[in-house]
């Protein structure tokens, strides 16, 4: 391990998602000091978030301490803090406690949040699916709904406890809807006595005309059929116009439900706005072909925060993990090359050098090239041992796709420790149909709408009724 | 499986801890309907709570859905709800949403909470160690302290981040102090660059004159030596007189610390008070030798809520899991016997029968006997692969005691699923020295006290200093 040199340039990376992690790793041998900043202490394996939300995996199986990943990378420093603004001209970032720090290069990889398309007041009733806390909130809601159903005597209220609405038919929505249905059908139906969890109603609402719009039509159709077969109610071409604590309004129809999950849209981190660069309608930064920000060659934006068209195909680079990873590696190579070429081989330290990076040391800037997205394929899983996958123009459905999905996700999981534990959890979960992580935390029990045995009358009939209500609705 | 009879008496069990679970299981073949009510949806394996607080185990490994445990017990019903009061005369319980339900027998097993001896205002600064949420709060605090230390430049503030105070030298305090020290020494010291986690100061404060007061003096001494050897600072005969967000005052000395954990005392659930029975100074119900409440033969109080002396030895029955389990089994047998004997073979359903249970059907009440606590021994673990144990008068220290501890806890863990996963987690954790569950959740980053590189001066020396501060304090 080479000792970092104090005079080496400082590369600040904001965000420990797939893009940020890939960039820091790709800079391991570059003569720079890399500072990774994330407001969470963990890297999150977002593709499996829905498995936490549905109690298949415990949180620790898909989250990994960021600094553990870089334990052996001598030039990498990890800080668990929140950046609130960026000053491009002064090459400084500001933290939420007002302290600030300088950078020579900046890689902005802060990802995206759920978007409610201007209706942020819906958020408390329809949590998104982006963070570990989101997944725990949704898990609590789903499990609480089943618990409340067990104590409910009013058939109308019971139906509301057992109605689950997923808004958005992309990969997250498809996987979540399938997993919720499966939770009721396979796993926990035997644990409840007073209602049949198999009757849980799962509604998947998609504004477009097909599920998985980023995949092929044949995959969309396969996903539709597989979800329909396990009993998910799919509504295409339908838009949600209102959400509150009682349910949603969709195409003018009111559906009452206690559990609503939002996976309909994302907007990029608001940090992009502080760059002063042009943004697209989802708040993503319109970046140059080299992922840099126009007018600030030492600032790159990657992953879900970047809006870019592939140079060859003209298609937009999708907001998926492989794209973020590839962008992180691409910009890391640019930085390493330029530092080695002497464009910036020392930290900005002489008062007579303007902090704006565009003033170089006089060295020739090497040609940066254009980012090209290499599409390795995409996949989505649907319930137990079914999936759709597209790799290199080939389309798989069913068990083979699911095995591919399992394999790819296992080998991608960060860290030896997690990979074994996740595999064990999955194996046990699939063999026993048991969901080991059905833990409600942090919330007091919510109240059922209609009390069990709430009548306190003293007549024999009344008391019998109370006992019947308490025990016999099986 | 025999179908429960609607006319069978209803046994309500409040609390899904060791006592409540044991009681319900022991009633599996009795001609009664058993209703278990808990405000959490999970049974918690409290003896391993400190391992969650120190990131060794994920939460799901020590918590198990209560209704999963009783999936196959046809006469058991589980409700996830909170009971707020008990009416002994009317044989009714009231829930927090004001609904109420009747019982023929009641087993009160709601456990205990942390006690601050009249200083509840200390609770926010020194969380207790009783629930899964407690453990997650403490885990967040400990991990956050290390994260803040990494970003700290002021030596005084750094020392406060790295000072951990555990108040109370019972088993929980001893195990927690050892595990925190071990966390810094073994596991995560390589993950931080700007301070040495091995220097974390762990202070264990005990008001009495020895650790583990419920064990023998030789075990106390062994625990003292083992903790001292790994670097825990132990203060005996010292009392905490003040706690706030900056630290504690102990014997007149102020110790500044960011992390304080309270394991000094417990008080029984406040539900005991609503019985109108006599309570001891810890809020526990002074029960009859058969665990019943004086004047209400159909109401039993067990586990941490019961205050009772052993009939033979005259010693108080300790507030430990085996005592709760044994009490649960004892009262379940009484109930089964009486129901079979016809004392109460139908639910209270005739208007002319006074609800007070002491009016029987006229049948002879079988002799109930007196509860006898069988002490199977006790043990506490100290850091990695060390423990103290006492079984049948024999005392073990060191590795053998630790292996015994491991074995006992593994076989006691509820559920096949958990047992394997916990063992895997432990094995990986002990082999790799890695703490896989170091996940901070639910909290925004707390702020470090002194900004890194907060000076925005433009001179070369200033900027060099900022970089040095950012990177070189290793």
Subunit contact B41:A439, Cβ cutoff 8 A: yes
Q: Answer whether B416's CB lies under 8 Å from B409's CB.
A: no
Q: What is the pLDDT of residue B447?
A: 44
Q: Is the pLDDT of residue B464 over 50?
A: no
Q: Which candidate, A216, A89, A97, places its Cα nearest to that of B157? A: A97
pLDDT tier for residue B404 given thresholds of 50, 70 and 90: confident
Q: 3-state secondary structure string, A350-411?
A: CCCCCCCCCCCCCCCCCCCCCCCCCCCCEEEECCCCCEEEEECCEEEEHHHHHHHHHHHHHH
Side-chain-side CA neighbours of residue B39 (13 Å): 18
- Chain A 65-94, CB below 8 Å of chain B: which residues? 65, 67-68, 71, 77-82, 92
Distances (CA, A) of B333 to B30, B290, B329, B338: 9, 11, 6, 9
Q: Answer whether A41's CB lies under 8 Å from B143's CB.
A: yes
Interchain CB contact of B462 with A (< 8 Å):
no
Q: Answer whether B286's CB lies under 8 Å from B168's CB.
A: no
Q: What's the pTM?
A: 0.86
Q: How far apart are CA A287 and CA A334, in angstroms?
A: 15
| A336-345, B131-140, B434-443 — most confident range | B131-140
Q: How far apart are CA B316 and CA B318, in angstroms?
A: 6
Q: What is the pLDDT of residue A19?
A: 96
Place of tokens 């899991």: B321
Nearest to A6 among B349, B445, B467 (CB): B467
- Chain B 138-157, CB below 8 Å of chain A: which residues? 143-144, 147, 150-151
> What are the two backbone dihedrals, phi and then psi, of residue A437, each rounded to the nearest 5 degrees?
-105, 30
Residues paired with A380 in a beta bridge: A388
* % of chain B residues with pLDDT over 70: 82
For B33, residues 6+ apart whose C-beta sits below 8 A from its C-beta are A467, A471, B4, B5, B8, B9, B10, B11, B75, B77
Place of tokens 């838009």: A239
Q: How far apart are CA A466 and CA A451, in angstroms?
A: 10
Nearest to B81 among A132, A445, A458 (CB): A445
- Chain A 369-428, CB below 8 Å of chain B: which residues? 415-418, 420-421, 424-425, 428
Nearest to B453 among A60, A99, A468 (CB): A99
Q: Answer whether A158's CB lies under 8 Å from A149's CB.
A: yes
Neighbours of A79 (CB within 10 A): 25
Q: What is the pLDDT of residue A21?
A: 95
A350 chain-B contacts, CB cut-off 8 A: 460
| B79-88, B158-167, B345-354, B358-367 — most confident range | B158-167
The stretch A111-125 carries a mean pLDDT of 94
Q: What is the pLDDT of residue A246?
A: 95
- Classified as helix, coil or strand, A298 is strand
Residues paired with B14 in a beta bridge: B37, B108
Nearest to B452 among A59, A101, A440 (CB): A101
B473 chain-A contacts, CB cut-off 8 A: none
A127 chain-B contacts, CB cut-off 8 A: none
Q: What is the pLDDT of residue B405?
A: 79
Nearest to A467 among B6, B193, B472 (CB): B6
Q: What is the pLDDT of residue B235?
A: 98
Residues paired with A164 in a beta bridge: A202, A259
Chain centroid, CA B273 distance in Å: 21
For A10, residues 6+ apart whose C-beta sits below 8 A from its C-beta are A32, A33, A34, A35, A102, A103, A104, A105, A347, B467, B470, B471
Q: Is the pLDDT of residue A428 over 70?
A: no
Q: Answer whether A317's CB lies under 8 Å from A323's CB.
A: yes
Helices and strands per DSSP (H, E), number in chain A: 11, 25
Chain centroid, CA A80 distance in Å: 19
Q: Is the pLDDT of residue B108 over 90?
A: yes
What own/partner pairs with CB < 8 Å and gap ≥ 24 does A113-118 have?
A: A113/A266, A113/A267, A113/A268, A113/A269, A114/A262, A114/A263, A114/A265, A114/A266, A114/A267, A115/A264, A115/A265, A115/A266, A115/A267, A115/A282, A116/A262, A116/A264, A116/A265, A117/A264, A117/A265
Residues paired with B165 in a beta bridge: B203, B260
- Classified as helix, coil or strand, A252 is coil
**Diameter over CA atoms, chain A:** 96
Q: Is the pLDDT of residue A459 over 50?
A: no
- Chain B 247-266, CB below 8 Å of chain A: which residues? none
- Pairing mode, strands A394-397 and A387-391: antiparallel
Cα angle A244, A248, A253 (rounded to 5 degrees) comes to 140
Neighbours of B45 (CB within 10 A): 25
Q: How far apart are CA A369 and CA B321, in angstroms?
A: 66
The stretch A256-266 carries a mean pLDDT of 95
pLDDT tens for each residue of A32-50: 999 999 999 999 988 889 9
pLDDT tier for residue B428 given thresholds of 50, 70 and 90: low
Interchain CB contact of B440 with A (< 8 Å):
yes
Q: How far apart are CA A365 and CA A358, in angstroms?
A: 10
Subunit contact A42:B99, Cβ cutoff 8 A: no
Q: What is the pLDDT of residue B75?
A: 92
- Share the mean pLDDT of chain B: 84
Q: What is the pLDDT of residue A434?
A: 58
Place of tokens 């703490």: B435
Q: How far apart are CA A176 and CA A257, in angstroms?
A: 16
Subunit contact A132:B441, Cβ cutoff 8 A: yes
- Pairing mode, strands B247-250 and B240-244: antiparallel
Q: Which candidate, B14, B28, B42, B35, places its Cα nearest to that of B72? A: B28
Q: Which candidate, B95, B45, B43, places its Cα nearest to that of B70? A: B43
pLDDT tier for residue A457 given thresholds of 50, 70 and 90: very low
The stretch A454-460 carries a mean pLDDT of 37
Q: Which of A175, A206, A288, A338 is catalytic?
A: A175
Subunit contact A136:B441, Cβ cutoff 8 A: yes
- Classified as helix, coil or strand, A189 is helix
Q: How far apart are CA A127 and CA A139, in angstroms?
A: 11
Q: What is the pLDDT of residue A4?
A: 54
Distances (CA, A) of A21 to A13, A35, A68, A457: 9, 11, 12, 64
A468 chain-B contacts, CB cut-off 8 A: 6
Nearest to A444 among B39, B65, B458 (CB): B39
Q: What is the pLDDT of residue A346?
A: 52
Q: How far apart are CA B411 and CA B421, in angstroms?
A: 13
Q: What is the pLDDT of residue B352?
A: 36
pLDDT tens for each residue of A307-341: 999 877 888 999 999 999 999 999 999 999 999 88
Interchain CB contact of A295 with B (< 8 Å):
no
Active site residue B338: no
* % of chain A residues with pLDDT over 90: 53
Interchain CB contact of B280 with A (< 8 Å):
no
Residues paired with B279 in a beta bridge: B285
Q: String of b and e for A254-288 (b: at least 16 CB within 10 Å)?
A: ebebbbbbbbbbbbbbebbebbebebeebbbbbbb
Q: What is the pLDDT of residue A55?
A: 87
The stretch B76-104 carries a mean pLDDT of 89
Q: Is the pLDDT of residue A360 over 60?
A: no
Q: Answer whether B382's CB lies under 8 Å from B224's CB.
A: no
Q: Is the pLDDT of residue A275 over 70?
A: yes
Distances (CA, A) of A268 to A109, A280, A284, A305, B141: 10, 10, 5, 5, 30
The stretch A134-146 carries a mean pLDDT of 93
- Chain B 171-230, CB below 8 Å of chain A: which residues? 190-194
Q: Is the pLDDT of residue A384 over 90?
A: no
For A148, residues 6+ apart whose C-beta sits below 8 A from its C-beta are A161, A258, A446, A447, A448, A449, B80
Q: Among A24, A36, A52, A80, which would you mutate to test the B interface (most chain B Cβ atoms within 10 Å of its Cβ)?
A: A80
pLDDT tier for residue B347 given thresholds of 50, 70 and 90: low
Q: What is the pLDDT of residue B439?
A: 73
Nearest to B417 among A82, A192, A428 (CB): A428
Chain centroid, CA A87 distance in Å: 28
For A58, residues 6+ apart whose C-beta sits below 8 A from its C-beta are A52, A425, A436, A437, B58, B59, B60, B61
Q: 3-state secondary structure string, B142-171?
A: HHHHHHHHHCCCCHHHHHHHCEEEEECCCH
- The DSSP string of A13-68 is EE--SHHHHHHHHHTTTSSSEEEEEESSSEEE-GGGHHHHHTTSS-GGGTEEEHHH
Closest A-chain CA to B133? A442
Q: Is the pLDDT of residue A351 over 60?
A: no
Return the CA Rg of chain B.
25
Distances (CA, A) of B406 to A267, B160, B360, B453: 48, 34, 48, 47
Q: Which of B152, B160, B175, B338 is catalytic?
A: B175
pLDDT tier for residue B355 given thresholds of 50, 70 and 90: very low
Q: What is the pLDDT of residue A5?
A: 65
Closest A-chain CA to B189? A71
pLDDT tier for residue B71 given thresholds of 50, 70 and 90: confident
- Chain A 21-40, CB below 8 Å of chain B: which residues? 33, 35, 39-40
The stretch B404-432 carries a mean pLDDT of 68
pLDDT tier for residue B411 given thresholds of 50, 70 and 90: confident
Q: How far apart are CA A196 and CA A190, in angstroms?
A: 8
SS3 content of chain A, % helix, strand, coil (to 5): 35, 20, 45
| A179-183, B145-149, B161-165 — most confident range | B161-165
A77 chain-B contacts, CB cut-off 8 A: 193-194, 470-471
pLDDT tier for residue B363 given thresholds of 50, 70 and 90: low
Dihedral sign for Cα B267, B268, B271, B272, please. Answer: negative
Q: Answer whether B448's CB lies under 8 Å from B157's CB.
A: yes
């Amino acid at each position: 391990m080479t000792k970092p040199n104090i005079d080496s340039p400082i590369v600040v990376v904001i965000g420990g998602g797939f893009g940020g992690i890939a960039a820091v790793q790709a800079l391991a041998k570059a003569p720079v000091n890399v500072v990774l900043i994330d407001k969470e202490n963990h890297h999150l394996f977002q593709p499996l978030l829905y498995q936490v939300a549905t109690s298949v995996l415990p949180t620790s199986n898909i989250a990994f301490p960021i600094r553990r990943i870089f334990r052996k990378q001598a030039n990498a420093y990890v800080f668990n803090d929140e950046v609130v603004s960026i000053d491009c001209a002064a090459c400084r970032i500001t933290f939420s406690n007002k302290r600030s720090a300088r950078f020579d290069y900046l890689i902005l990889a802060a990802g995206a949040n759920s978007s409610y398309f201007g209706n942020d007041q819906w958020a408390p009733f329809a949590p998104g699916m982006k963070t570990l806390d989101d997944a725990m909130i949704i898990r609590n809601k789903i499990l609480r709904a089943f618990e409340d159903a067990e104590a409910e005597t009013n058939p109308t209220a019971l139906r509301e406890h057992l109605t689950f609405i997923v808004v958005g038919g992309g990969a997250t929505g498809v996987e979540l809807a399938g997993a919720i249905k499966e939770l009721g059908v396979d796993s926990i139906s035997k644990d409840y006595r007073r209602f049949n969890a198999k009757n849980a109603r799962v509604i998947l609402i998609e504004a477009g005309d097909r599920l998985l719009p980023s995949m092929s039509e044949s995959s969309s159709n396969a996903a539709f059929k597989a979800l329909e077969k396990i009993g998910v109610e799919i509504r295409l071409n339908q838009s949600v116009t209102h959400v509150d604590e009682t349910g949603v309004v969709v195409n003018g129809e009111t559906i009452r439900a206690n559990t609503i999950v939002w996976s309909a849209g994302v907007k990029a981190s608001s940090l992009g706005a502080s760059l002063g660069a042009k943004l697209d309608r989802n708040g993503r930064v319109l970046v140059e072909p080299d992922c840099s920000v126009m007018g600030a060659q030492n600032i790159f934006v990657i992953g879900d925060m970047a809006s870019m068209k592939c140079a060859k195909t003209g298609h937009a680079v999708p907001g998926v993990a492989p794209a973020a990873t590839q962008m992180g590696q691409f910009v890391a190579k640019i930085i390493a090359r330029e530092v080695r070429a002497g464009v910036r081989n020392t930290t900005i330290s002489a008062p007579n050098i303007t902090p704006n990076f565009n003033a170089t040391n006089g060295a020739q800037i090497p040609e940066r090239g254009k980012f090209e997205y290499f599409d390795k394929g995409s996949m989505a899983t649907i319930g137990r041992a079914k999936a759709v996958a597209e790799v290199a123009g080939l389309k798989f459905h069913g068990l083979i796709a699911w095995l591919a999905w399992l394999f790819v996700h296992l080998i991608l999981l960060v860290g030896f420790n997690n990979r074994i534990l996740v595999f064990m959890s999955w194996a046990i979960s699939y063999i026993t149909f048991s969901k080991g992580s059905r833990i409600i935390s942090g919330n007091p029990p919510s109240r059922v709408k209609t009390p069990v045995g709430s009548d306190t009358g003293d007549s024999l009939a009344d008391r019998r009724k109370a006992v019947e209500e308490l025990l016999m609705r099986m």
